[in-house]
Amino acid sequence: MAAVRSLLLHAAGPVVLVPTMGALHHGHAALIKHARKLAGKSGMVVVSIFVNPLQFAPKEDLAAYPRPLSKDKAICKSLGVDVVFLPSVESLIPADASVYVDEGGLLSSVLCGRSRPGHFKGVCTIVAKLFNIIQPKSAVFGEKDWQQLAIIRRMVRDLNFPVKVIGYPIVREADGLAVSSRNAYLSAQERALAPRFYEALQFAVEKYSTPEAIVREAVSRIQSIPGTRVDYVEVVDSSTLQPVKKLKAETMLAAAIFLGRTRLIDNIQITRL
């Protein structure tokens, strides 16, 4: 920790942090390039790679989560990252840790929080630690994990972290599937079906103008994809994440499904009013 801090003391410009769990793909690369732009020539870009055990439930994929460290380091180097921060679990989470950062539930018990209790407490606790250790001017998070972004914004606001939180739009494969480290879990057959998830969301948003009809259409289209199970499909306020009865400014369609055993999430901001 002291070593990384002393490295960052040399930054003549802003320090910009991109927190990740590694297995870097072109979604992460887009965030890192954006961070590089924000930091400029004199600033420093820090990419943290930490597969955070606190955000996985006991039966989730913590052990199986991909950890291609040398490849990740090479990607960071090619993108002009100044510091790759690779804390060990022991260094970040004391065995007898008893203080955590927990959003009260308004934002973290809905959507993904319903099927992943404790997930956002794990995320907030580690992101708060990264902010304290790195002390970045700004931090870049992807809009693919919109709920995470909304909760981090709330944490920064409510706990007065002097960090600017920057959202970056969802990066997609050419066929529309949101890029994700977990896409590697999909079989070839599932991978071929996966774009139908985003297509279903898009179709519903384009065709209907009430939350109820949008959700009904999206669910029915998702259910027609072989091997899928809907976790949730909801139209919510983009900041409060609470369900809305009518479309208004800042409304989003958010969804999570299982395709086989792989959990996929996606969202669309509904701007048409």
Does position 267 interact with ligand AMP (CB under 6 A)? The reply is no
Angle between helical axes of 119-134 and 146-158 (0-180°, round to 10): 60
Residue from the set 62, 86, 179, 244 that interacts with ligand AMP by CB under 6 A: 179
Shortest distance, position 178 Cβ to ligand AMP, whole Å: 5
**166 is an interface residue for ligand AMP by CB under 6 A:** no
Catalytic residue among 10, 25, 28, 34: 28
Closest CA to 215 of 195, 194, 230: 230
Between 119 and 158, how does the x/- string for binding to ligand AMP read (CB under 6 A)? ----------------------xx-xx-------------
CA distance 57 to 76: 29
As given in the structure block, the two tokens for residue 72 are 């990740």
Angle at 38 between CA 178 and CA 36, to 5 degrees: 70
Work out how close the CB of 3 gets to ligand AMP at its nearest, in angstroms, rounded to a whole number: 23
Catalytic residue status for 119: no
Q: Give the phi and the psi of residue 214 in degrees, each rounded to 5.
A: -60, -45
User: Judged by CB under 6 A, which stretch of 68-76, 176-184, 189-197, 231-239 contacts ligand AMP?
Assistant: 176-184
Report CA dihedral (139, 14, 134, 48) to the nearest 10 degrees.
Answer: 50
The contact set with ligand AMP (CB under 6 A) reads 20-21, 27-28, 31, 141-142, 144-145, 168, 170-171, 178-181
Task: List active site positions.
Answer: 28
